[in-house]
């Protein structure tokens, strides 16, 4: 089981908290994913119309990552006017063999309006603390 202790970092727009995803994050993760995929079409290996929008399947995916020893979904959460909101997320996995345990692969998605403001940096700085 992968765990990650909540970490708070300051950004240009306030505090960004990075934490492990929980099943209740499924709707917002889907929303962020689709927003990012619609905003840019050339840097992803998946297109918006290929995303499974089934919330129950997304919840199951988050649960599977949480239960796996070398996989994790991290979310970057910022304080917005309406309350905390996920502004980005990262899906990560590290080497399954001991000699490759130092290697982490995955992807990071951050809402366009949060790029350059600390959302992605918070996720990137958190990766070594997990891996």
- What is the CATH classification number for the domain harbouring 24? 3.40.630.30
61 part of a folded domain = yes
pLDDT at 103: 79
Q: Where are the beta strands (DSSP E) in the chain?
A: 7-11, 14-20, 71-80, 83-94, 104-110
8 A C-beta contact, residue 4 and residue 108? no
Q: Give the list of residues 6+ apart from residue 4 with CB closer than 8 angstroms, or none.
A: 18, 19, 20, 72, 74, 126, 129, 130
For the chain, how long is the longest CA-to-CA vector? 46
Quote the domain boundaries for residue 14: 7-130
36 part of a folded domain = yes
pLDDT, tens only, 70-107 = 899 999 998 776 778 999 999 998 877 777 777 788 88
pLDDT, tens only, 31-40 = 999 998 888 7
Tokens in use for 56?
């129950």
pLDDT, tens only, 41-72 = 667 777 777 888 899 999 999 999 999 888 99
2 part of a folded domain = no
| Number of domains comprising the chain | 1
1 part of a folded domain = no
49 part of a folded domain = yes
């Amino acid at each position: 089981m992968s765990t990650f202790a909540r970490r708070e970092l300051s950004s240009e727009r306030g505090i960004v908290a990075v934490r492990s995803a929980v099943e209740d994050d499924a709707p917002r993760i889907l929303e962020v994913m689709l927003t990012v995929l619609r905003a840019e079409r050339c840097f992803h290996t998946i297109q918006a119309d290929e995303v499974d929008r089934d919330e129950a399947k997304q919840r199951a995916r988050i649960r599977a990552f949480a239960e796996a020893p070398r996989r994790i979904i991290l979310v970057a959460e910022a304080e917005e006017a309406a309350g905390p909101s996920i502004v980005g997320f990262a899906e990560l996995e590290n080497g399954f063999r001991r000699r490759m345990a130092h290697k982490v692969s995955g992807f990071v998605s951050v809402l366009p309006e949060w790029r350059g403001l600390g959302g992605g940096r918070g996720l990137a700085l958190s990766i070594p603390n997990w891996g």
